Amino acid sequence: MLIAVAACAFSCSDNNAKYVITGANVPGDGNTIFLFDRISELPIDSAIVKDGTFKMSGKAEKNAYLSVSFKDANWYFPLFNDGTPIKIDYADSVMTGSELNTKLSECDRNINDQYNEFYNFIQDYLSLPKDEQKAGEDEFIRQYEEHQNKYTDYILNKIDENKDNLIPVAFIQNIPLLARFEKFEEILSSGAPFTQHP
């Protein structure tokens, strides 16, 4: 209910900004790509991929936290609707736009790299025969904690480095699980600008 109220307050305001989002080297000609509102998780725009490209334009709340993705995909390009045109190159997963969105794209790629390192470590262990898993269980637990701490610290550092902008909005949802709810509350009570975002 709180999310719905926040989404309504955010979308019903007159404080709109124009978005222009173009994509290149996009897979799946003929498929539909969506612009999602990350608060409501609902699509607010869409475009058909043609010759590896797409374009979407319209208006949304200024600084709304949005994302571009195919429907039901487990990855997306996060962005803030700050009025500066966005360009996405699917070939190298790079998004450019304003200084804020270009930096957000870089942070997102780096955090994904950290996550993939953690994920691949787990998959390597799970691919072992059961007897080898059992024999190496203690070492796996030790290394698992190291990987998780490294991943958590990386996200916390990114939040700390960007207290003066909106970038932490894109990663704050990870904190209650990774660093416990107390840390989440501590960050939100800091009064940093991003904590006022819906």
User: Cα–Cα distance between 73 and 57 in angstroms, integer?
Assistant: 22
> Is it the case that residue 1 has pLDDT exceeding 50?
no
Residue 90 has pLDDT above 70, yes or no: yes
* DSSP conformation class of 195: G
In this prediction, residues 181-185 reach a mean pLDDT of: 92
Which residue has tokens 């222009």? 20
Query: Mean pLDDT over residues 138-148, rounded?
Result: 95
Is residue 192 pLDDT above 60, yes or no?
Answer: yes
Q: Taking 70 as the threshold, does the pLDDT of residue 6 lie above it? A: no
- pLDDT at site 3: 45
E strands present in the chain = 16-24, 32-37, 43-48, 54-61, 65-70, 77-80, 86-89, 94-96
User: pLDDT-derived band of residue 14, with 50, 70 and 90 as boundaries?
Assistant: low
Proportion of the chain above pLDDT 70, given as a percent: 93
Sign of the C-alpha dihedral computed for residues 153, 166, 170 and 98 taken in this order = negative
Q: What is the mean pLDDT of residues 133-144?
A: 95
Rounded Cα gap, residues 7 and 21, in angstroms: 22
Residue 10 — pLDDT band, cuts 50, 70, 90? very low
Between 87 and 8, the higher pLDDT residue: 87
Alpha carbon distance 73, 71 (integer Å) = 5
Per residue in 23-76, pLDDT tens? 999 988 999 999 999 999 999 999 999 999 999 999 999 999 999 999 878 789
Percent composition of the chain: helix, strand, coil (DSSP 3-state, to 5): 45, 25, 30
Find, among 51, 66, 63, the residue nearest to 21 by Cα.
66
Q: Rounded distance, CA 62 to CA 49, Å?
A: 26
Lowest-confidence region among 10-19, 76-85, 127-136, 189-198: 10-19
Place of tokens 């990114």: 158
- The stretch 111-140 carries a mean pLDDT of 94
